[in-house]
Amino acid sequence: MKLFRELFEGTDNRCPQCGMKNCPHPLGKCKCKPLPGYPKKVDEDLSPEQKRVGQLGPYEKVGPKGAVGKLVGGESFINTSIQAVAENKSAILRGILKEGSSLPGAMGGIKIMTPAEFVANQGDGEPGEEVDEATKLPASTRELKGQELTDYLDRIRGSADISKKTGQVKVDKKGKEKYVSGKTKQDKFRMPYIHRASVMGFYSPDGKKYNIDALKAAMTQRPTKLLKQNEKMKHSNGELEQFFNIGFAALVGSAVDENTNEIIIVNTCPGAGSCKIDCFAMKGGKIQYEGPWLSDSRILTYLLNDPEGFKAQINDEIKQEALEGKEGNYGVSIRWHDAGDFFSPEYLDLAFSIARDNPTVKFYAYTKVAAAVLGTKPANFMINWSEGASTGQEKQIKAQDPNLDTTKNSRIVPEKLFYDLLKKDAKGNLDKEGTNAKGAGGRWVTRDAAATSELKQRLAKAYGLSVNSILNYDEYMAKRNSIPKGMKYNVIVAPGEGDISANDAGVLSTLLLKH
């Protein structure tokens, strides 16, 4: 399928800003040094509406008064359609169709849709290619093998970054050879993340082929530990609580189907909608280091092929932690999914059964899968319906609770609602509270009491909440043990603060300030 970019630039797929074929940046956000003749001007013959679309980055929004919402030249899991998203659909259509016949590249396969339609089109099975359910624990998967696998590994490996001046491969400060990634923007949403260092490790010394058997052997190793330990939280009354995570790759994971001995791509977040665009678990440490992808892959492989073994092992780990908690006089909380989601009903059942096996431990999850919210759950498993799900999942929740008056939920508060109210230093940088000697860590705080009050007013208006029901984190921590039964608060949580409200039945909405 041809990229939407081709409509404007022909088929060589160069970045219009820097002119490189493998520019790693989204359209409109290029940071590379431009080649001679770039940035390229948008064809002046196009209508203004077409130009707007051509200038947009793949996931950029245009303000409420602008016509265009988003341009997505991308694919999501299994789905390879190209989508242009516009708030004023007919205007864009008119613009494109007017000039369509004279534009380079193909028109076929391009859908014009409103932002709401775009979100609706994401997730919920993502039709278009064969989906298997062959593993012992069912999931939506497809095989990744043969040429497709080799091509993907080639794209991850990329090509040497040759200096135009010297003709030699460029090297970084540490003397390592630089490379240009061959990965496409679509790879992020439809292919599982594999760190380049691992790919190089499985590339044969003669440079001709990959050792796929060694790759599979690495992926099928059983993890020694499934629970990942988080920070210990201190409550206002001095109580301690130890947090743990369990999870795997967000959106698209890799695993081995041990029946067929083939690598499979797993749809780990079937309810994901707009969240996938900005998913915290698809960046940062998860992709910076070599370890996480392989660890995630081993967990998924174990879970899918041997759910009983997985359950026995995690139960052992939880029981051990619960015992240590009892002896050390602290509570144990487990966040199900630091990344990923309940990818099948059978998997949801398995997670709930583990909670039932450990009644003294508190479990909680954020989810974009409506069934996890609407079904019966164990008393010690708190589910937070989370913003950013596909429209299909949203509809199921809204049918029961249109204004989220009773469904425990979490919302991502956009910067425009709070950033100007945060405490800053003389240079205008965030003045965080509790940073270490190197200035790292700490939490975001508001400027003063008036700013906190203003923030509450804004949140109340934006989300239809009563101002009095909104607490900041400190207020919540002070009150949390005395919230009368039946009363629900909404809690503002800033980066650097804890996750306790997500695990508290007395909190309706956790209002997460966007990081």
> Could you list the residues that contact ligand SF4 (CB under 6 A)?
250-251, 269, 272, 275-276, 279, 281, 339-341, 368, 388
Residue located via tokens 């709401």 = 116
Shortest Å distance, C-beta 118 to ligand SF4: 15
Please state, in angstroms and rounded to a whole number, the distance separating the CA atoms of residues 368 and 384: 9
Residue 337 CA, chain-centre distance (Å), reads 12
Nearer to ligand SF4, 251 or 471 (CB): 251
Nearer to ligand SF4, 19 or 270 (CB): 270
Nearer to ligand SF4, 184 or 393 (CB): 393
Nearer to ligand SF4, 249 or 492 (CB): 249
Beta carbons within 8 Å of 299's beta carbon, 6+ residues apart: 223, 226, 246, 247, 248
Shortest Å distance, C-beta 171 to ligand SF4: 35
Shortest Å distance, C-beta 93 to ligand SF4: 30
In three-state secondary structure terms, 196 is helix
Nearer to ligand SF4, 250 or 350 (CB): 250
Please state, in angstroms and rounded to a whole number, the distance separating the CA atoms of residues 340 and 187: 17
Shortest Å distance, C-beta 273 to ligand SF4: 8
Shortest Å distance, C-beta 322 to ligand SF4: 26
Sequence-ordered strand ranges (E) for 66-166: 68-72, 82-86, 110-113, 141-143, 159-160
Q: How many CB atoms lie under 10 A from the CB of residue 456?
A: 23
Shortest Å distance, C-beta 200 to ligand SF4: 27
* Contact (CB, 8 A) for 373 and 385: yes
Shortest Å distance, C-beta 367 to ligand SF4: 8
Calculate the alpha carbon distances from 128 to 124, 131, 287, 342, 392 in Å: 12, 9, 28, 22, 17
Nearer to ligand SF4, 272 or 470 (CB): 272
Nearer to ligand SF4, 257 or 296 (CB): 296
Quote the longest CA-to-CA distance of the chain: 75
Residue located via tokens 């910076």 = 288
Nearest to 269 by CA among 318, 210, 341, 337: 341
Element (H, E) at 264: strand 262-267
Nearer to ligand SF4, 193 or 473 (CB): 193
Nearer to ligand SF4, 210 or 293 (CB): 293
Shortest Å distance, C-beta 251 to ligand SF4: 4
* Contact (CB, 8 A) for 467 and 457: yes
How many residues are listed for the chain in this entry? 515
Shortest Å distance, C-beta 173 to ligand SF4: 33
Residue located via tokens 């039964």 = 485
Sheet of strand 110-113: strand arrangement: 68-72, 82-86, 110-113
Please state, in angstroms and rounded to a whole number, the distance separating the CA atoms of residues 454 and 439: 28
Position 296, amino acid? D
Please state, in angstroms and rounded to a whole number, the distance separating the CA atoms of residues 303 and 295: 12
Residue located via tokens 């996750």 = 499
In three-state secondary structure terms, 315 is helix
Shortest Å distance, C-beta 28 to ligand SF4: 23
Nearer to ligand SF4, 297 or 472 (CB): 297
